[in-house]
Amino acid sequence: MYSNVATSHVQTQAQEDAATYAKVAWRLLPFLFLCYVCAYLDRINVAFAKLQMQNDLGMSDAVYGLGAGIFFLGYLMFEVPSNLILLKVGARRWIARIMVTWGLISAAMMFVTGPTSFYILRFFLGVAEAGFIPAILLYLTYWFPNKRRSKVTALFLTGIPMSGVIGGPLSGWIMTHFAGMHGMAGWQWLFLLEGLPTVAVGVIAFYFLDDKVSDAKWLTVEEKTIIQRDLAAEQQGNHLHSIKDGLTNPRVLLLSGIYFFFTMGLYGVSFWLPTIVKASGVTDTLNIGLLSSIPYAAAAIAMILVSRSSDATGERRWHLSLAGVIGALALCTSVYFANNTVLAMIALTIGTMGVMTTISQFWCLPPAILTGGAAAAGIALTNSVGSISGVVSPYVIGWVQQSSGSTGAGVLGLAASMMIGAILVFTVPAKLVNVAKSKDRR
C-alpha cells in the first residue's frame, strides 16, 4: 500500500515538473528562436548583398573578403567582455542592448559607399553582435537543468538552419522585388528590411524577458520552487565556478578546440551547398536560395529528434560524436557525386543534418561543467574560438584548392576536421557531461 502511495506521489511530481518546464519552454523558446533568426539573417545577408553590391560600388573580391572577415575581428575582441557585462547588468537589459545596436548598424549598411565605410560598419557590426549567442546559452541555464537542456538548446539553435530556410528565399525576393524602388538598390533594401525588425525585437526583449526565475510573474510559487530546486541540486556537481576557471581551465580549452573543429564543418556546408546548386545550372538568385533551403529544413528536424534522444537517455558524447561522423562522411560523399546533382544534394542534406546536429549537441557540454562566472566566461570563450573557423575555413579551402586544383579537396579537408572533433569528444570524461536517466524526464 505504502509502495503504491509512494509511486503515485513520484508520478504526480514528475507530471508537475514536466508541466512546469513545458510552460517555461513555451514562454521563452519561440521568442529566443525569433531573436536568433534575426541574428543569423543580419550576419549572412552580406553574402547575398554581394551579388549586386560589388558591381554598384566597384569593390573587388579582396575588398569584400576583408570586410567580411573584419566582422569576426570585432566579434572576437568583445565576446568575453560582453558576457561578463551581462553578469553585472542582467540578461534582459544586455540582450536587448545587443539586438538594438546590431540591428541599427546592420540597417546602416545601406549607406556603404566604398571600402572604408564597408570595413568600419562590418567591424562595428561584429562588436555589436558579440556576446549574443553566449548570452542566450547562459540565459537558458537560468531556467533549465542539465537533464532537460539538450532539447531546449536544440530548439533554440534550429535558428541556424531555419535562417537558411528563410534567409535565402527572403533575401533573394527583397533584392529582386525592391530593386530600384525609391531610387535605392536591391542590396540597400536588403540591409534596411532585415535590420530594422531586429531593433523592434530588441525593444520587445527588454519588456518580455525576465532576468531570473524569481522575477517571473507568469510562474506560480510552486513552479518557481520546482525550477529553483532542480537548479540548486545541479550546483552540487563537478562544476567550475570562477571567471578564471572559465578562461583558463584545461576542460574549457579542450571544449573550445572541439567546437572549433565542428564549426569548420559548419562553414564547409555553407561554402559547398550554393556551389552544388549553381553547378546544376540554376542561375537565378531566388531559385538558388529556395533549393539551398531544403538541407537546412531537414537539419532542423534532425536537431530536434537527436536532442530528444539525448535527453531521454542522458547520454551526450555518442549523440555528438556520431552526428559529427555522419556529417563528415556525407560531405565526402557529396564530393564523390559532385557531377550528379541529385545524389550530391542528397548527400549534402544528410551532411547538413549531421553538421547542424553537432552544433546543438555540443552546447550541452559546457553548461554541464560550468556555472556562475565560469559559465559566462567559458561559454563566451568557446564560442569565440569556434568563430575563428569563420576566418580559417575559407583560407583552408583556398589553400587546398590551389594546391590540388579541386574545390572538392577543400571540402574533404573540412570533413577531416569534423572527424577530428568527433574523436576529441571522447577525451571529455562521460561522468562530467552525461546525466543520470530518471523516470521524470520526458
- Domain boundary among the residues 206, 236, 266 is at 236
Lowest mean pLDDT among 69-83, 273-287, 399-413: 273-287
Verify that 75 and 122 share a domain, yes or no: yes
- Domain boundary among the residues 236, 268, 292 is at 236
Q: How confident is the model at residue 172 (pLDDT cuts 50, 70, 90)?
A: confident
pLDDT(280) > 70:
no
Verify that 338 and 387 share a domain, yes or no: yes
pLDDT recorded at residue 438: 47
pLDDT in tens, 329-353: 998 898 888 777 788 889 889 999 9
Classify residue 440: in a domain, yes or no: no
pLDDT in tens, 115-161: 899 899 999 998 998 889 888 988 998 899 888 888 888 888 887 77
Classify residue 290: in a domain, yes or no: yes
For the entire predicted model, the pTM comes to 0.80
Classify residue 10: in a domain, yes or no: no
Verify that 354 and 208 share a domain, yes or no: no
Classify residue 332: in a domain, yes or no: yes
Distance of CA 50 to the CA centre of its chain: 23
Classify residue 7: in a domain, yes or no: no
Verify that 229 and 246 share a domain, yes or no: no
Verify that 196 and 245 share a domain, yes or no: no
Classify residue 354: in a domain, yes or no: yes
Residue 181 class from Cβ within 10 Å (0-12 exposed, 13-18 middle, 19+ buried)? exposed
* Number of domains the chain contains: 2
Q: Facing residues of 37 across strands?
A: none
pLDDT recorded at residue 179: 83
pLDDT recorded at residue 133: 86
d(CA 21, CA 144) in angstroms, rounded, equals 7
Structural domain that includes position 112: 16-236
Verify that 48 and 168 share a domain, yes or no: yes
pLDDT recorded at residue 401: 64
Verify that 123 and 181 share a domain, yes or no: yes
Verify that 206 and 296 share a domain, yes or no: no
pLDDT in tens, 13-33: 778 888 999 999 999 999 998
pLDDT recorded at residue 348: 85
pLDDT(440) > 50:
no
Verify that 216 and 295 share a domain, yes or no: no
Verify that 287 and 219 share a domain, yes or no: no
d(CA 277, CA 291) in angstroms, rounded, equals 7
- Domain boundary among the residues 212, 236, 260 is at 236
pLDDT recorded at residue 196: 92
Residues 6 or more apart whose CB falls under 8 angstroms from that of 220 comprise none
Verify that 213 and 330 share a domain, yes or no: no
pLDDT recorded at residue 3: 55
Residue scoring higher pLDDT (112 or 265):
112
Mean pLDDT over all residues of the chain? 83
Classify residue 3: in a domain, yes or no: no
Classify residue 441: in a domain, yes or no: no
Verify that 36 and 139 share a domain, yes or no: yes
pLDDT in tens, 404-427: 766 677 778 888 989 999 999 999
CATH number at residue 73: 1.20.1250.20
